[in-house]
């Protein structure tokens, strides 16, 4: 089943990208009032899922905005990340997307009703998978990482994949962040005098998780497969025009497969949208978009 989904999504990407609106705000079929939840009363619970080498701390600016608006904001740390980073060098070996997904599924299933899910980068793939299981009332994808079926669209993405291959069998170990690379790929729109402080909060990442994201075509476990057709809730995708890690074409490809997606291209922003100047304004726009 997983292989059929990957093949179908690959063909959709190959045939459909040329049809994407260049400046359009909405991708897919327009959502009706029922689909966007108009007229329904929903809880104000939001779960924010962080990306590779990060932790729930990266959402602090977003959290402040949402809590000021009366939301209950949850920013759990993935295994070996953030506050759970003790002995991460050992604990993350062999951990992959399936383990992260199981952890977050257990977390989200405890809610009385599906919360809003917001995922950044790698966390966006996890959010998509949870939403495909009916565990989200709305889905927000912030700089979404590539999932199974999405090929690299730019030279910078292909170069990063080549750089990973020079590490040898990295999928059997952990990958530590590199400041020089981070300044280029993820922190390029964080003010220079703040880059080191942000980077110092990054931690190691599972090499297996990177393998499953970047080299999904060789992953026999299909750990990053998502069935977009199973996502029935409203979807918002936002990406920075200067994102070097997950460029606009790749983010659009991630968004285009869902039944209805509103897409925001944010001029002058990079990959770390939750931490860049203007993060509070972005969070406010997201909050205003979420169906009541």
Q: Is 225 left (phi over 0), alpha (psi -120 to 50) or beta?
A: beta
What's the pLDDT at 260?
A: 85
Is 10's pLDDT higher than 50?
Answer: no
Mean pLDDT on 255-262? 93
CB atoms within 10 A of CB 99: 18
Is 41's pLDDT higher than 70?
Answer: no
Q: Which segment of 26-40, 198-212, 226-240, 274-288 scores lowest on mean pLDDT?
A: 26-40
Is 84's pLDDT higher than 90?
Answer: yes
Query: How many residues are listed for the chain in this entry?
Result: 292
Q: What is the mean pLDDT of the chain?
A: 88
What's the pLDDT at 280?
A: 98
Phi and psi at residue 269, to the nearest 5° = -105, 155
Is 207's pLDDT higher than 90?
Answer: yes
What's the pLDDT at 27?
A: 52
Is 31's pLDDT higher than 90?
Answer: no
What pLDDT band is residue 292 in, cutting at 50, 70 and 90?
confident
CB atoms within 10 A of CB 81: 26
Q: Which segment of 27-41, 42-56, 169-183 scores lowest on mean pLDDT?
A: 27-41
- Pick the more confident residue, 70 or 12: 70
Fold of 2-289: Rossmann fold (3.40.50)
**Measuring CA to CA, which residue among 15, 2, 37 is closest to residue 236?**
37
Is 33's pLDDT higher than 90?
Answer: no
What pLDDT band is residue 9 in, cutting at 50, 70 and 90?
very low
Mean pLDDT on 29-58? 71
- Rounded CA-CA distance 220/209 in Å is 13
- Pick the more confident residue, 224 or 3: 224
Mean pLDDT on 221-228? 97
Mean pLDDT on 205-211? 98
Is 2's pLDDT higher than 80?
Answer: no
When computed from its CA atoms, the radius of gyration of the chain, rounded to whole angstroms, is 18
What pLDDT band is residue 172 in, cutting at 50, 70 and 90?
very high
Q: Where are the domains of the chain?
A: 2-289
Mean pLDDT on 150-157? 90
DSSP class of residue 146 equals P
What's the pLDDT at 23?
A: 31
Q: Is 158 left (phi over 0), alpha (psi -120 to 50) or beta?
A: alpha
What pLDDT band is residue 20 in, cutting at 50, 70 and 90?
very low
């Amino acid at each position: 089943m997983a292989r059929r989904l990957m093949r179908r999504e690959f063909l959709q990407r190959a045939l459909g990208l040329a049809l994407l609106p260049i400046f359009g705000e909405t991708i897919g079929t327009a959502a009706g009032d029922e689909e966007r939840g108009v007229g329904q009363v929903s809880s104000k619970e939001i779960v924010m899922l962080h990306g590779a080498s990060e932790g729930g701390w990266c959402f602090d600016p977003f959290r402040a905005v949402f809590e000021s608006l009366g939301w209950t904001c949850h920013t759990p740390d993935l295994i070996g990340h953030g506050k759970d980073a003790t002995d991460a060098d050992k604990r993350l070996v062999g951990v992959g997307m399936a383990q992260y997904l199981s952890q977050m599924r257990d977390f989200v299933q405890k809610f009385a009703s599906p919360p809003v899910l917001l995922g950044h980068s790698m966390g966006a793939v996890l959010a998509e998978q949870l939403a495909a299981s009916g565990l989200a009332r709305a889905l927000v994808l912030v700089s979404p990482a590539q999932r199974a079926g999405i090929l690299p669209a730019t030279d910078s993405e292909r170069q990063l994949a080549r750089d990973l291959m020079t590490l040898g069998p990295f999928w059997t170990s952990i990958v530590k962040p590199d400041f020089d690379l981070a300044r280029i790929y993820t922190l390029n729109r964080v003010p220079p005098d703040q880059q080191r402080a942000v980077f110092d909060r990054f931690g190691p990442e599972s090499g297996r998780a990177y393998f499953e994201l970047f080299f999904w075509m060789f992953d026999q476990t299909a750990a990053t497969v998502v069935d977009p057709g199973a996502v029935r809730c409203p979807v918002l995708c936002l990406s920075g025009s200067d994102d070097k890690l997950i460029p606009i074409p790749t983010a659009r490809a991630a968004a285009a497969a869902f039944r209805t997606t509103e897409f925001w291209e944010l001029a002058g922003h990079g990959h770390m949208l939750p931490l860049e100047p203007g993060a509070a304004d972005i969070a406010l726009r997201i909050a205003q978009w979420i169906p009541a």
